[in-house]
Amino acid sequence: MPSVNEQDHLWIAVGDIHDEPGLFARIPELAQADGIIVTGDLTITGGVKQAEMVMDVLRAHNPRTWAQIGNMDRPEVDEWLSGLGCNLHTQVHELTPDTAIFGIGASTFTPFGTPSEFPESTFAGWLENSWQKARKYPHTVLVSHNPPKDSACDVIPGNIHVGSTAVREFLEEAQPDVCLCGHIHEARAVDRVGRTIVVNPGALAQGGYVLLRSSGGKLSVELRVLENCD
């Protein structure tokens, strides 16, 4: 049966902006994008004022911008994004008539005591609740600030995996088409968990971004890196 939505679409996904959105304007595909997706960490322990500065830059390029808190954003940013109608965290939105996007922001506990950290059990509950709505669509995109554990997208120096077990278990069971993640700057990579494509673009300041495409009802991702960002 053919897709109910055969039109081609393109979205640009970035993460870990940390108060530095300047490089965003250098992304060459901006003019063709249907929208922007932010996986988390708009700020560095910032609140609404700092988040608004970042979002203003992104929305000047494309008003159809979805975002969510990362562990570095204060909890008040979550409510503010909901007020704008663009929050991904624990929300389900329609990318196309046959594709849902849903998000889980914040992170599991870190050694740094950042503003938005929660236990694995909380993430498992958020994921299950969101999935009950998202699964009604033929295709799904999970935006998780936390990468899944034991993947190429969650490795820190020393070959230590620090991702979320709840996200990993969810992907293994639910198998959404795509998982866009972030959080671990040095783990810029593309991987798979079953049939789910997992991609972490790393920090925007290091030039990483993702092209998410829908063509003929099928989703694909491409990891890109801007030149001369180091």
pLDDT at 4 over 60: no
pLDDT per residue over 85-107, tens digit each? 999 999 999 999 999 999 999 99
Residues β-bridged to residue 107: 117
pLDDT per residue over 119-159, tens digit each? 999 999 999 999 999 999 999 999 999 999 999 999 999 99
pLDDT per residue over 165-197, tens digit each? 999 999 999 999 999 999 999 999 999 999 999
Of 187 and 228, the structure prediction assigns the larger pLDDT to 187
For helices 165-174 and 120-134, the axis angle rounded to 10 degrees is 30
* Contact between residue 81 and residue 89 where contact means Cβ atoms under 8 Å apart: yes
* Contact between residue 182 and residue 70 where contact means Cβ atoms under 8 Å apart: yes
State the average pLDDT for the chain.
95
> For residues 186 and 172, what is the distance between their CA atoms, to the nearest angstrom?
24
Going by the DSSP 8-state scheme, the letter that residue 117 receives in this structure is B
Phi-psi map region of 166: left, alpha, beta (phi>0 left; psi -120 to 50 alpha): alpha
pLDDT above 90: percentage of residues in the chain: 94
Q: Side-chain half-sphere of 205: how many Cα atoms within 13 Å?
A: 11
Report, as an integer, the average pLDDT of 192-205: 98
Of 3 and 183, the structure prediction assigns the larger pLDDT to 183
* Contact between residue 191 and residue 152 where contact means Cβ atoms under 8 Å apart: yes
* CA separation, residue 226 to residues 63, 160, 211 (Å): 23, 27, 13
pLDDT at 227 over 90: no
